[in-house]
DNA sequence: CGCGGTTTGCGGTCAATGCA
DNA sequence: TGCATTGACCGCAAACCGCG
């Protein structure tokens, strides 16, 4: 700033005012300063700005764990992409947690809060009685949740209506003629999974369809389940829904092992449209929950909060769409 | 009153200094 | 020698102030 001021023949404060878009600077002076900045290639120093503003211009992103299963889920990277887009446009950067287990994660987040490494946080999951959310709440740090708000009143959260999305998907499959549907859900008691199960059951009850929901914890679970329901049973399901695309990928492998053809022998549908579902063999009918929009909305909203702008909602629901693909085509 | 210069202090590190 | 204290320093924002 000193160099720029010298180059433009003004005081450093004048340079500061031009950068901050402060009023009461004549256009002539402003232009003079901008010319000097561009001549010298000057970029403001964020570390120095943090010193005086006490703002890091960083958003902390908390993911439930940093295991490959979660990191490599396209849903995750799509959400992060949305968040980063919002942050990039509005001058913020992001910092994500890397811990793989909840104890480490707790300390990582605590350090981030206490060292003032971020101005606000986005929780990328929602969990009942989550110690990490308690931490954010106790320290009075601005945060919002992608998913349901389960622990405190009036916490801003960005979500899909997963009950409705599952209901719609089941209805869609019913209209295709399916009368025996198997629903496979991931383990872990996360709200999304539970809601998708609820929506599925609701529609089945409505039309008096018998239904089975199985919790899958491992690849062996999955093999046992398919053997039991699709090989050994007399009345096999005509379609299998998976609560997430990663589980869907594993299912495709198991069906291949048992030489069950999709869509001829059994059909499949899943939640979370992505590159994976588009390019699977065959391409998978899936529910697009628009993770990029979830991320973009979350990013923009937390920045609004940090800028003390009034937020008109506590809950924002992002729409979902069923994407029809080969896995549920009529034969 | 518009404009812009002077000065201070943000939070932490590190070297110099003071004191027992 | 070992410890505590002080002050310079980083780049910037803004309170404060003065000129015309």
Nucleotides of chain C touched by protein CB (<7 A): 10-15
The pLDDT profile of chain A, 331 residues, written as one tens digit per residue, is 888 888 888 888 888 888 887 767 778 888 888 888 888 888 888 888 888 888 999 999 999 989 998 899 999 999 999 999 999 999 999 999 999 999 999 999 999 999 899 999 999 999 899 999 999 999 999 999 999 999 999 999 999 999 999 999 999 999 999 999 999 999 988 899 999 999 999 999 999 998 899 999 999 999 999 999 999 999 999 999 999 999 999 999 999 999 999 999 999 999 999 999 999 999 999 999 999 999 999 999 999 999 888 999 999 999 999 999 999 998 7
Question: CA of A257 and C1' of C14: distance in angstroms?
Answer: 69
Q: What are phi and psi of A215, to 5 degrees?
A: -85, 125
- Domain borders along chain A are 1-44, 58-160+292-319, 162-288
Q: What are phi and psi of A151, to 5 degrees?
A: -115, -30
Is residue A83 classed as helix, strand or coil in its secondary structure? helix
Q: Is there a common fold for A58-160+292-319 and A162-288?
A: yes
Tokens of A82: 């949305």
Region label for A81, one of left (φ > 0), alpha (ψ between -120 and 50) or beta (otherwise): alpha
The residue lying closest to nucleotide C15, measuring its CA against C1', is A13
Question: CA of A53 and C1' of B8: distance in angstroms?
Answer: 14
Q: Which CATH number describes the domain made up of A162-288?
A: 3.40.50.2300
The residue lying closest to nucleotide B12, measuring its CA against C1', is A51
Any atom of strand C under 7 A from CB of A111? no
The residue lying closest to nucleotide B10, measuring its CA against C1', is A52
**The CATH number of A58-160+292-319 is which of 2.40.50.140, 3.40.50.2300, 2.30.290.10, 3.40.50.10310?**
3.40.50.2300
Any atom of strand C under 7 A from CB of A18? no
Which residues interact with strand B by a CB < 7 Å criterion? A 5, 9-14, 17, 24-26, 28-29, 51-52, 54
* Sheet arrangement for strand A321-323: A211-216, A181-186, A239-242, A267-271, A285-288, A321-323
Angle at A298 between CA A84 and CA A66, to 5 degrees: 65
Please state, in angstroms and rounded to a whole number, the distance separating the CA atoms of residues A272 and A74: 9
Tokens of A14: 């004048």
Any atom of strand C under 7 A from CB of A6? no
Nearest to A186 by CA among A225, A147, A159: A225
Please state, in angstroms and rounded to a whole number, the distance separating the CA atoms of residues A329 and A48: 60
| Cross-strand pairs, A159 | A317
Question: CA of A23 and C1' of B1: distance in angstroms?
Answer: 14
Please state, in angstroms and rounded to a whole number, the distance separating the CA atoms of residues A83 and A326: 31
Q: Which residues contact A114 (CB under 8 A, 6 or more apart)?
A: A139
Q: Which CATH number describes the domain made up of A1-44?
A: 1.10.260.40
pTM of the model: 0.89
Please state, in angstroms and rounded to a whole number, the distance separating the CA atoms of residues A143 and A155: 8
């Amino acid at each position: 700033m000193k160099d720029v001021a010298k180059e433009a023949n003004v005081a450093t404060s004048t340079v500061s005012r031009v950068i901050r878009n402060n009023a009461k600077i004549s256009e002539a002076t402003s232009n003079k300063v901008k010319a000097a900045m561009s001549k010298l290639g000057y970029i403001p120093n964020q570390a120095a700005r943090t010193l005086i503003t006490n703002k890091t211009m960083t958003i902390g992103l908390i993911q439930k764990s940093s295991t490959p299963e979660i990191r490599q889920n396209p849903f995750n990277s799509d959400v992060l992409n949305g968040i980063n887009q919002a942050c990039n446009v509005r001058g913020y950067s992001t910092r994500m947690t890397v811990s793989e287990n909840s104890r480490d994660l707790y300390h990582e987040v605590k350090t981030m809060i206490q060292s003032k490494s971020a101005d606000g946080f986005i929780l990328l999951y929602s969990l009942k009685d989550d110690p990490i959310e308690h931490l954010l709440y106790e320290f009075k740090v601005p945060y919002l949740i992608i998913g349901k708000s389960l622990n405190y009143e009036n916490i801003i959260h960005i979500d899909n209506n997963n009950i409705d999305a599952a209901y719609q998907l089941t209805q869609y499959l019913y209209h295709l003629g399916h009368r025996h549907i198997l629903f496979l859900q991931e383990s872990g008691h996360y709200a999304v999974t539970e809601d998708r199960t609820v929506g599925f059951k609701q529609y089945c009850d409505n039309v008096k369809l018998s239904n089975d929901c199985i919790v899958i914890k491992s690849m062996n679970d999955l093999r046992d389940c398919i053997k039991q329901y699709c090989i050994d049973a007399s009345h096999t399901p005509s379609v299998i829904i998976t609560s997430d695309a990663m589980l869907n990928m594993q299912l495709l492998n198991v069906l291949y092992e048992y030489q069950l053809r999709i869509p001829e022998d059994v059909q499949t549908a899943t939640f979370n449209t992505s590159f994976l579902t588009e390019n699977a063999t065959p391409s998978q009918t899936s529910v697009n929950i628009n993770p990029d929009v979830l991320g973009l909305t979350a990013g923009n909203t937390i920045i609004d909060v940090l800028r003390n702008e009034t937020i008109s909602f506590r809950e924002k629901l992002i729409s979902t769409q069923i994407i029809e693909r080969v896995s549920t085509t009529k034969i």
